[in-house]
Amino acid sequence: MDFSFYLIIIPKLLSGLPMTLQLTAISVSLGFILALTLALLLQTKQRLVTLPIRTFVAIFRGTPLLLQIFLIYYGLGQFRKDLQFVGLWGFFREPYWCAILALSLNTAAYGSEILRGAIKSVPKGLVEAARASGLSYYLTMRLVVLPIALRQAIPSYGNEIILMVKGTSLASVVTLMEVTGIAHGLISETYRAIEVFVCAGAIYLTINFLIIRGLAALEHRLSPPYLRKRT
């Protein structure tokens, strides 16, 4: 084992960490807002509203993320003139925003399904009780349904966040230098693929471990004492 080699490459790989974390944080946040909006819209049962949402979800869940990134970056790059015309080219010109768009839409599609399931799992009796006590639909949602649904969704949503952390590794295909992109650069400098990928893997593993721990703590805090798991 050549430890000095690891000592050289680890700091270099870590220089890509801010980009990886930024991509994750922004797309998870944007994706969550969108996912929640979609999940709430799906409650309306209006076909005119639900059909487009279902189509969106089916498309983004049914195709590979890599393909979505390629399609948004290189595919839409072909329509520069049209995008310039509508003033969107400034956005699509940047690989950073294209990656964020692809990641956010992808996680929104998965997230909306998770949240829809969580909302559905809230006992009907609670909703009826809230409505019977005179709460409006909006207040019932805000004060009764969502707090319970969101807490129940934490484990599944946590998995989705982890998938997103892993998904950012694909952003290197659109020229972004996050951890995996830097790993590729290091390999072409040192020609030692395995060592570099092992280090990069360890970095992702650490991030994901911390996220899992953080979410478990959050779930613990948000649960009433009788629902808490023994830790």
Partner 1 sequence: MKKTFNLIATLLALSVYQGAHAASNSITIATEGAYPPWNFTTSDGQLAGFEVDLAKVLCKKMAMDCTIIAQDWSGMIPALKAGKFDVIMAGMFITDKRLEVMSFSQPYAIDPSSFAVEKDSELAKSTDSEKVSLNDTEKAQAAIEKLRPLLKGKTVGVQASTTLYEFLKKYFGDDIKIRTYKTTEQRDLDLEAGRVDAIYGQRTVLAATLKNDGFQDFMIAGPGFYGGIFGRGVGAGVRKDDDKLREKLNSAIQSAIADGTIKQLSEKWMGVDITPGS
Partner 2 sequence: MIDVLHLLGFGDGGWGKSLLAATLVTLLLSFSSFSVGILFGGVIATFRVGKYRILNLFGRSYCTLFRGIPDLLTIYLLYYGGSMLLTSTGKLLGWDGFIGLPTFATGMLALAIISGAYLAEIFRGAYLALDKGQLEAAQALGLPKWPTLRFVIMPQIMRLALPGVSNVWQLILKDSALISVIGLVELMRQAQIGAGSTREPFIFYTAAACLYLVITVLTGFFFKYVENRTSSY
The contact set with partner 1 (CB under 8 A) reads 74, 77-78, 80, 93, 95, 173, 175, 184-185, 187-188, 191-194
Shortest distance, position 92 Cβ to partner 1, whole Å: 9
- To 5 degrees, how large is the angle CA 113–CA 153–CA 45? 40
Supply 210's token pair.
Answer: 């911390």
Give, as ranges, the residues between 142 and 171 that touch partner 2 (CB under 8 A).
Answer: 162, 165-167, 169-170
101 binds partner 2 (CB under 8 A): no
Count the residues of the shown chain that bind partner 2, applying the rule CB under 8 A: 35
Q: How many CB atoms lie within 10 A of CB 109?
A: 23
Shortest distance, position 188 Cβ to partner 1, whole Å: 3
Identify what 201 binds: partner 2, partner 1, none; CB under 5 to 8 Å per kind. Answer: partner 2
Residue closer to partner 1 (CB basis): 80 or 120: 80
Which residue do the tokens 């799906």 mark?
42
What are the DSSP E strand ranges found in the chain?
Answer: none
126 binds partner 2 (CB under 8 A): no
Give which of 99, 102, 103, 150 is closest to 122, Cα–Cα.
Answer: 150
Give the list of residues 6+ apart from residue 127 with CB closer than 8 angstroms, or none.
Answer: 140, 144, 145
Give, as ranges, the residues between 41 and 70 that touch partner 2 (CB under 8 A).
Answer: 58-59, 61-68, 70
Identify what 64 binds: partner 1, partner 2, none; CB under 5 to 8 Å per kind. Answer: partner 2
Shortest distance, position 17 Cβ to partner 2, whole Å: 14
- Residues 78, 69 contacting (CB under 8 angstroms): no
- Residues 165, 20 contacting (CB under 8 angstroms): yes
Binding string, residues 173-212; x marks residues near partner 2 by CB under 8 A: -------x------------xx--xx-xx--xx--xx---
Which residue do the tokens 């084992």 mark?
1
- To 5 degrees, how large is the angle CA 149–CA 167–CA 192? 145
Maximum distance among all Cα pairs of the chain, rounded to whole angstroms: 70
- Which amino acid would we find at residue 76? L
8 binds partner 2 (CB under 8 A): no
* Site for partner 2, rule CB under 8 A: 58-59, 61-68, 70-71, 74-79, 162, 165-167, 169-170, 180, 193-194, 197-198, 200-201, 204-205, 208-209
